[in-house]
Structure 1
Amino acid sequence: MEIKVAIIGPYDFLGEILRIAATFSDVTWIPLGYKNVQDAKRLVLQCKEEADVFLFAGPIPYQIAREHVVEPKPMVYLPYNGTSLYRVFFQIMREGGMLHEDYRLRFSIDVLNKQEVEQRLEELSIRVDQMYALEYQLEQSTDDILRFHHDLWTSGKVDAILTCVASVYEELTRLGIPCYRIIPTKSTIQECLHQTQLEWKNLQLSDNQIAVGIINVESMLKKWGSSEYELQRKKIAIQEILIDYGEEMQALMNWPDRNEVIFVTTRGVIERTTNMYTRFPLLEKIVNRLNIAVSIGIGLGRTANEAQSKAGDALAKAKARGGSCFIAMHDGSVFGPLGKDYHLAYSLRSNNPERLDAARKSGLSIGTINKLISFCQNYGSSQVTASDLANRFDVSLRSARRILSKLEQSQLAMVVGEEQPLTKGRPRQIFDLRLHL
Structure 2
Amino acid sequence: MNMKVAVIGPHDLVDAVLHIGSFFSELSMLPAPYRHERETLEIIENIRDQADILLFTGPIPYQIALAASPGKPMIHVFYSGTALYKVLFDCYRQHVLSFDERLPISVDVLQRNEVEEPLREIGLPIDDIFIKTYASGMGHEEFVAFHYDLWRAGKVTVTVTCVTSVYHRLVELGVPAFRVIPTQSAIRDALNCALLEGKSLRYSSTQIAVGIMNIDNFEQVAKEAASEYDIQRKKIILQQILIDFGEETQSLIKWSDSDEVSFITTRGIIEQVTRKFQDAPLLLEVMERLQWNASIGIGMGRTANEAEGKAREALLKAKTGGGGNCFLIMQDGMVYGPMGSELKLEYSARSENPELISLAKKVGLSVGTINKLISLCRRLGTSRITAAQLAEGFGITLRSARRIMAALEKYEIASIVGEEQPAGRGRPRQIYSLNLEGVDYE
Aligned to 1:12: 12
Distance in 2, Cα, partners of 1:303 & 1:123? 54
1:176-191 aligned within 5 A: 176-191=174-189
Aligned to 1:22: 22
Distance in 2, Cα, partners of 1:211 & 1:341? 21
- Provide the secondary structure at the position in 1 that maps to 2:194: helix
Query: What is the CA-CA distance between 1:67 and the residue it aligns to?
Result: 1.7
1:168-247 aligned within 5 A: 168-211=166-209
Distance in 1, Cα, partners of 2:297 & 2:156? 57
Query: What is the CA-CA distance between 1:184 and the residue it aligns to?
Result: 1.0
Query: What is the CA-CA distance between 1:310 and the residue it aligns to?
Result: 6.2
Aligned to 2:393: 392
- Provide the secondary structure at the position in 2 that maps to 1:73: coil
Aligned to 2:127: 129
Query: For each residue in 1:271-320, what CA deviation from the matched residue of structure 2 results, as whole angstroms up to 9, or x when unmatched?
Result: 366565322747986999997776x6544356789868866875675465
AA aligned to 1:180 is: F
1:342 aligns with 2:342: yes
TM-score of the two chains, using structure 2 as the length reference: 0.64
Conservation of the 8 A alpha-carbon contact between 1:335 and 1:346: yes
Distance in 1, Cα, partners of 2:117 & 2:253? 53
1:9-408 aligned within 5 A: 9-25=9-25, 27-68=27-68, 70-92=69-91, 96-100=96-100, 103-211=101-209, 249-250=251-252, 266-271=266-271, 276-277=276-277, 278-279=279-280, 281=282, 297-301=297-301, 314=314, 317-318=317-318, 321-323=321-323, 324-329=325-330, 334-338=335-339, 340-342=340-342, 344=344, 346=346, 371-372=376-377, 374=379, 391-394=392-395
Query: For each residue in 1:154-179, what CA deviation from the matched residue of structure 2 results, as whole angstroms up to 9, or x when unmatched?
Result: 12333432211111112223444333
Distance in 2, Cα, partners of 1:128 & 1:115? 11
Conservation of the 8 A alpha-carbon contact between 1:342 and 1:392: no
Aligned to 1:421: 423
Equivalent residue pairs, number: 379
Query: What is the CA-CA distance between 1:325 and the residue it aligns to?
Result: 3.2
Query: For each residue in 1:159-217, what CA deviation from the matched residue of structure 2 results, as whole angstroms up to 9, or x when unmatched?
Result: 43221111111222344433332221112212323333433333222211244668899
Query: What is the CA-CA distance between 1:148 and the residue it aligns to?
Result: 1.3
Q: 1:161 to 1:290 in 2, by over 3 A?
A: closer
Distance in 2, Cα, partners of 1:220 & 1:58? 51
AA aligned to 1:30 is: L
Q: 1:78 to 1:274 in 2, by over 3 A?
A: closer
Distance in 2, Cα, partners of 1:314 & 1:124? 58
- Provide the secondary structure at the position in 2 that maps to 1:132: strand
- Provide the secondary structure at the position in 2 that maps to 1:128: coil
Distance in 2, Cα, partners of 1:112 & 1:330? 38
Between 1:389-398 and 1:123-132, the stretch displaced more is 389-398
Query: What is the CA-CA distance between 1:39 and the residue it aligns to?
Result: 0.5
Conservation of the 8 A alpha-carbon contact between 1:63 and 1:138: yes
Conservation of the 8 A alpha-carbon contact between 1:109 and 1:162: yes
Q: 1:180 to 1:325 in 2, by over 3 A?
A: same
- Provide the secondary structure at the position in 2 that maps to 1:48: helix
Superposed CA RMSD in Å reads: 5.2
- Provide the secondary structure at the position in 2 that maps to 1:271: helix
Distance in 1, Cα, partners of 2:117 & 2:288? 58
- Provide the secondary structure at the position in 2 that maps to 1:129: coil
AA aligned to 2:344 is: L
Where does the alignment leave 5 or more consecutive residues of structure 2 unmatched? 222-237, 350-369, 432-439
Aligned to 2:355: none
Q: 1:126 to 1:366 in 2, by over 3 A?
A: farther
Conservation of the 8 A alpha-carbon contact between 1:55 and 1:76: yes
Q: 1:209 to 1:157 in 2, by over 3 A?
A: same
Query: What is the CA-CA distance between 1:391 and the residue it aligns to?
Result: 2.4
Distance in 2, Cα, partners of 1:329 & 1:50? 26
Aligned to 1:229: none
Query: What is the CA-CA distance between 1:334 and the residue it aligns to?
Result: 3.6
Conservation of the 8 A alpha-carbon contact between 1:333 and 1:345: no
Where does the alignment leave 5 or more consecutive residues of structure 1 unmatched? 225-240, 350-364, 377-381, 410-414, 430-434
Q: 1:44 to 1:263 in 2, by over 3 A?
A: closer
- Provide the secondary structure at the position in 2 that maps to 1:49: helix
Distance in 2, Cα, partners of 1:367 & 1:125? 51
Q: 1:279 to 1:375 in 2, by over 3 A?
A: farther
Query: What is the CA-CA distance between 1:66 and the residue it aligns to?
Result: 2.4
Between the aligned residues of both structures, percent identity stands at 36
- Provide the secondary structure at the position in 1 that maps to 2:138: coil
Between 1:117-126 and 1:277-286, the stretch displaced more is 277-286
TM-score of the two chains, using structure 1 as the length reference: 0.65
Distance in 2, Cα, partners of 1:147 & 1:86? 24
- Provide the secondary structure at the position in 2 that maps to 1:167: helix
Distance in 2, Cα, partners of 1:28 & 1:212? 31
Query: For each residue in 1:24-67, what CA deviation from the matched residue of structure 2 results, as whole angstroms up to 9, or x when unmatched?
Result: 44654332322221101111112223333322111111111222
Query: For each residue in 1:396-415, what CA deviation from the matched residue of structure 2 results, as whole angstroms up to 9, or x when unmatched?
Result: 57789999xx9xx9xxxxx9
AA aligned to 1:391 is: E
AA aligned to 1:154 is: R
Distance in 1, Cα, partners of 2:118 & 2:303? 42
Between 1:118-127 and 1:197-206, the stretch displaced more is 118-127
